[in-house]
Amino acid sequence: MLRGLAHGAAWTLATSTAVALSWFGVHTVLTGTVDDPPRALPLSTAPSPPPRTSSTSRPRPPAPGTSAAVPSGGGPSGTASAGTGPQQPPGTARPVPNAAGATGDVHSYPVSGGRVVLDLGPAAASFVSATPDTGWSTRVWKQPGWIRVDFTSGLHTSSVFCTWNGHSPTVQTYGT
C-alpha cells in the first residue's frame, strides 16, 4: 500500500512539473503577441464628388488648346484630398506618418478572407489594419522584426507575413 502511494505521489509530482514547464514555455512565447483591434484610417469629412471615369472606359483627351490638369478637389478614387501632394492612381502607395512619426509607404494586401494594410518604412514596418471578409476571423501577431496576420474560416487559412530582420521589409501572402 505504501509503495502504491509513493508511486502515485511521484507520478503526480512529475506530471505537475511537466505541466508547469509547458505553461511557462508557452506563456513566454505568447507574451509579446497581441491581437489588437484594427485601426481605421481617418476619412475626409468633405463630400466626395462622383467618379469622373469608369473602370471600363478611358477619359476623353482634352480638346486642342485646353489644359489637362487634374482638379484639386478630387482624387482618382473619388475621395477629396486636402492638398496633400500629387494625385496617385488607385492601388499605389502614399506616404503617411505612422505612430512613431516616421513616414513610410502604406500598402494594402488582399488575400482570401480579407485585406491587410501595412506601413512599410525603409528599415521597419508597422501594422495599420486587418479587415476580414464576412464569415472570416482575424488574428494578428506583432514582434520586433516581423508581423503576421491570419484570416481563418473553418479549415481555410490565409496569411500575410512581413519581415524586416536586417533588411528592408518584405511581404509574403499565402492563400490569395
Taking only the tens place, the pLDDT of each residue in 48-96 is 565 555 555 555 555 565 544 444 444 333 333 333 333 434 443 444 4
The answer to whether 117 and 128 have CB atoms below 8 angstroms apart is yes
Taking only the tens place, the pLDDT of each residue in 95-128 is 444 444 345 689 999 999 999 999 998 889 999 9
The reply to whether the predicted model has a pTM over 0.75 is no
**DSSP-assigned letters across all residues of 107-168:** EEEEETTEEEEEEE-SS-EEEEEEEEPTT-EEEEEEETTEEEEEEEETTEEEEEEEE-SSSS
Domain ranges of the chain: 104-176
